[in-house]
Amino acid sequence: MYLNLIQLAESFGVSEKVVEGWIRDEGLPHTPDRRVLLFDRARVAQWAATRGLATKAGFLAATNPALSTALRLAPLLQAGGIWRGVAPPEVVDIFVRVASGMHGATPPVRELLGERLRAAGGVTYAPVGGGFALPHPATRITLGRDSGTLALILVPAALSLTEPRVDEVPVTRLLFFIAPSPRAHLDLVGRLSRLIASGSLSEALARGAPDEEILRVVAAADAVAADAKKQEGKA
């Protein structure tokens, strides 16, 4: 799916001149077509995620209702787990542990994922504001339909990241995920961004909510997403 310059600017809530500046200064992916600029939705969504703009990108909403229904966050988080008090030097080790316990992936695939996660530049952290980031493997691997995982990693000390931050809030909350496919990756970025933007997860974490309550918060977000899809289907 391609967007034109006006549609892309509206999706981000910025002017067309800002988008032109992103093209010139930030390497925003685009395709010139007979004096018109076109933007591939998937490529721009990935560009946005790596720059902390995912929560502002309305076009991240999934285009495949079946996929959006299948990818529920709560079961993925149950699989990946909630990790508290993780020191910054241990974060990558947790990524590898989460990947090694992922269902639906063969041992060789898990081993390959571990190697890529430990490699320099193997993880894209994608800060999205409010102390959150959405780390994920920098390169995609197409996994089985029933694969994928999500982990909430809470770091007591701020992470030092090379990627630009969205605000001045130190990054201490990581929603690390591995998607089963590039299309599912796009859906997960959008779903997680909306979960963060809703504020419900932040409120639960601020209260020091136990794991069970956090899972209920995420399950409630799944229910809201499923209900929205039903309403779209009736419209």
pLDDT, residue 69, reads 45
| CA 15 from centre of chain | 25
Percent of the chain with pLDDT over 90: 40
Indicate the range of 42-51, 142-151, 157-166, 189-198 predicted with least confidence: 42-51
pLDDT, residue 53, reads 64
Q: How is residue 81 written in tokens?
A: 């787990």
Q: How far apart are CA 42 and CA 139, in angstroms?
A: 14
Average pLDDT rounded to a whole number, residues 68-75: 75
The average confidence (pLDDT) of the chain is: 83
Average pLDDT rounded to a whole number, residues 156-166: 86
CA dihedral 57, 24, 128, 182 (to 10 degrees): 60
Q: How far apart are CA 77 and CA 169, in angstroms?
A: 24
Which of 95, 60, 98, 50 has its CA nearest to residue 76? Answer: 98
pLDDT, residue 174, reads 97
Q: How far apart are CA 83 and CA 97, in angstroms?
A: 11
Q: How confident is the model at residue 32 (pLDDT cuts 50, 70, 90)?
A: confident
Domain boundaries, the chain: 2-49, 65-234
| pLDDT tens digits, one per residue of 162-217 | 887 778 899 999 999 998 877 788 788 888 888 998 899 999 999 999 999 999 99
Bin 52: left if φ > 0, else alpha if -120 < ψ < 50, else beta: left
Residues 6+ apart with CB under 8 A from 1: 40, 41, 42, 63
pLDDT, residue 159, reads 94
Q: How confident is the model at residue 234 (pLDDT cuts 50, 70, 90)?
A: low
Average pLDDT rounded to a whole number, residues 102-115: 86
Average pLDDT rounded to a whole number, residues 51-75: 57
Q: How confident is the model at residue 15 (pLDDT cuts 50, 70, 90)?
A: confident
Tokens 């970025």 correspond to: 189
Q: What fold does the segment set 65-234 form as a domain?
A: Mannitol-specific EII; Chain A (3.40.930)
